[in-house]
């Protein structure tokens, strides 16, 4: 008699946790409350000249910031995949990211954010999010949409590190 490991389906977990969605040109952001979206938007603003803006005054602020980072990542990688559209799941803590990571069957050290090719989604902790971390995970999304067979993880990591290093350099 064999031992079977049952892993919860991430899609089922996701449906129970997020009550709100926000769409951009390249992504749909899943979050629990308006404050989560505001924190995410504020923390990905380093490369923007009008960082004193807020969501209340500009409802398109999140869309503009997310799409600008995605476009910058595509330009840095010189990869423009058709049909690029992915999900972003906002978690409160790094511990929640670790739990999600484990539920997907990964057993190595859990990152503070990650991209899943299987679910075409970025999973981010609001505790740790920055523009560079978001760009890094976006690079994984772009790479995975660009290639029919995604390159090995090490190659993807080199390209993603290039993106976070040169994100705002001209």
For 140-156, how does the pLDDT look when each residue is reduced to its tens digit (9 = 90+)?
999 999 999 999 999 99
User: If DSSP codes are grouped into helix, strand and coil, which group holds residue 104?
Assistant: coil
Q: Is residue 71 within 8 Å of residue 29, measured between CB atoms?
A: no
- Between 51 and 99, the higher pLDDT residue: 99
Residue 160's pLDDT is what?
Answer: 96
Q: 107 vs 50, 75, 151, CA distance in Å?
A: 41, 33, 21
Residue 155's pLDDT is what?
Answer: 96
Q: Cα(17)–Cα(9) distance, rounded to whole angstroms? A: 13
- DSSP assignment letter at 21: E
Residue 3's pLDDT is what?
Answer: 42
pLDDT above 70 covers a percentage of the chain that reads: 85
Residue 5's pLDDT is what?
Answer: 39
Q: Cα(148)–Cα(99) distance, rounded to whole angstroms? A: 29
User: What mean pLDDT, rounded, does the chain reach?
Assistant: 87
What does residue 84 show for φ and ψ, rounded to 5 degrees? -65, 110
Q: Cα(70)–Cα(152) distance, rounded to whole angstroms? A: 22
pLDDT at 137 over 70: yes
Nearest to 160 by CA among 150, 39, 43, 170: 150
pLDDT at 45 over 90: no
pLDDT band at 53, cuts 50/70/90? low
pLDDT band at 16, cuts 50/70/90? very low
């Amino acid at each position: 008699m064999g031992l079977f490991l049952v892993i919860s389906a991430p899609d089922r977990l996701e449906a129970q946790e997020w009550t709100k969605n926000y769409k951009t040109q390249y992504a749909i952001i899943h979050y629990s409350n308006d404050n989560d979206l505001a924190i995410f938007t504020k923390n990905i603003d380093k490369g923007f000249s009008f960082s004193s803006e807020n969501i209340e005054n500009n409802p398109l602020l999140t869309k503009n910031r997310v799409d600008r980072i995605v476009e910058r990542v595509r330009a840095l990688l010189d990869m423009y995949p058709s049909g690029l559209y992915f999900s972003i799941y906002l978690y409160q803590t790094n511990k929640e990211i670790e739990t999600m990571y484990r539920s997907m069957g990964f057993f190595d050290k859990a990152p503070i954010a990650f991209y899943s090719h299987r679910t075409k989604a970025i999973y981010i902790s609001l505790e740790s999010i920055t523009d560079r971390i978001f760009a890094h995970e976006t690079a994984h999304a772009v790479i995975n949409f660009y290639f029919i067979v995604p390159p090995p993880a090490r190659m993807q990591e080199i390209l993603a590190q290039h993106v976070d290093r040169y994100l705002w350099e001209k």
